[in-house]
Amino acid sequence: MQFIKSDINIDFIGKRKLAFTISALMILVSIVSLVIHKGPRYGIDFAGGTLIQIKFHQPVEIDAIKKGLAGIDMANASVQVFGERQDNEFLIRTDKSTAKADNLSTEIATALKNSTGQEAEIRRVEMVGPQVGKDLREKALFAIFFSLLFITIYISGRFEFKWLLSGIVAAALMGAVYLLSLFHVSVPLLILAALVISLAIFWILGLKYAMGAIVALIHDVTITVGIFSIFNKEFSLPIIAALLTIIGYSLNDTIIVFDRIRENLRRYRKQSLAIILNRSINETLSRTILTSLTTLVVVVALFIYGGGIIHDFAFAMIVGIVVGTYSSIYVASPILLAWQGKK
């Protein structure tokens, strides 16, 4: 199925400066939001604490719920509506981790019945200790970082036949990051420094395809996390799964464009790189838009009808698909042109 005519010729590369400006502004806003909020709003998985989901059969006021919680030493707990207001479901969050898992549900149900006059159905109770939350945060960061490095090996090997060189660089970076983490160096700062050093090494060694792909992926992840911060959405393990999915999805789009660029570089040797890049993007545009739209339809359906538990995951996927499609066109390919200018 051809969604766009084969002879279309949109000047994507000619608009690269405007696209870079837009991307820089989005990344800047994301970073500013993260600084203001002191990082993402971590969920129970990463921050530690206790989360309780409850349901009533009749409408109740949040103040009545808080009053009941105050009677069982949970006065500082936050209470918010979960799902639609008419569902009468609420999420209770507290930064206290308690070992009384068996009695906690009974205590909460009794306290809420006394304060609201209704039976409270305890649907789930999740508890994570603060040390476990910290370990999960670090492992999530390592998962994203190592996935990016393994991607560089694949991209460099497939498009530039530099399997050994990229493998040595990636192994050295992974080893350095792991060893420094053993000395209790701040993991977020450590990985940020490692990513900056990685990009510098790719630039020096001329791993242009790997650099284009990694810059696009960092762009996608940063903006997605930034939008979560802007909307003050909770950052949890399912969101890490969404980010890794976004990395894979965006990379797939980028590889399709890179494949066509490599073919056209052999076919049109006398044409400038800018013309070849533009031709390649236009030739794969139909496939890119069709893939994005069909995936987006499914994710939007999950976002609307999937319920509160999967709502944030679907939101992250929507943002990631839109930003990933944009970066495949306007970020990854123009990096090749920038590298040629450097050369």
* Ordered domains of the chain (ranges, CATH): 13-43+132-342 (1.20.1640.10), 49-128 (3.30.70.3400)
Rounded-to-integer distance, Cα 31 and Cα 27, Å: 6
Q: What is the mean pLDDT of residues 282-298?
A: 88
Burial 163-193 (b: 16+ CB within 10 A, else e): eebbbebbeebbeebeeebeeeeebeebbee
Is residue 342 predicted with pLDDT exceeding 60?
Answer: no
Residues recorded for the chain: 343
Beta strand 41-42 with 234-235 is parallel
pLDDT of 343 reads 52
Whole-prediction pTM value?
Answer: 0.82
Amino acid 156 reads S
> What would the pLDDT profile of 26-71 be if each residue is shown by its tens digit?
999 999 998 898 888 887 777 777 888 889 988 888 888 888 888 8
Q: What is the mean pLDDT of residues 253-261?
A: 89
- Cα–Cα distances (Å) from 275 to 257, 261, 278, in that order, read 14, 10, 5
Is residue 100 predicted with pLDDT exceeding 60?
Answer: no
Dihedral angle, C-alpha 97, 99, 101, 103, nearest 10 ° = -110
Query: Confidence class of residue 132 from pLDDT cuts 50, 70 and 90?
Result: low
Query: Confidence class of residue 131 from pLDDT cuts 50, 70 and 90?
Result: low
Most confident of 35-49, 113-127, 291-305: 291-305
| 196, two tokens | 């900056």
Share of the chain above pLDDT 70, in %: 93
pLDDT of 187 reads 73
Among candidate residues 333, 338, 316, the one with its CA nearest the CA of residue 247? 316
The tally of CA atoms less than 13 A away on the side-chain side of residue 203 is: 13
Among candidate residues 203, 336, 199, the one with its CA nearest the CA of residue 262? 336
- Cα–Cα distances (Å) from 59 to 51, 87, 90, in that order, read 21, 8, 11
Is residue 280 predicted with pLDDT exceeding 60?
Answer: yes
pLDDT of 219 reads 92
SS3 160: helix
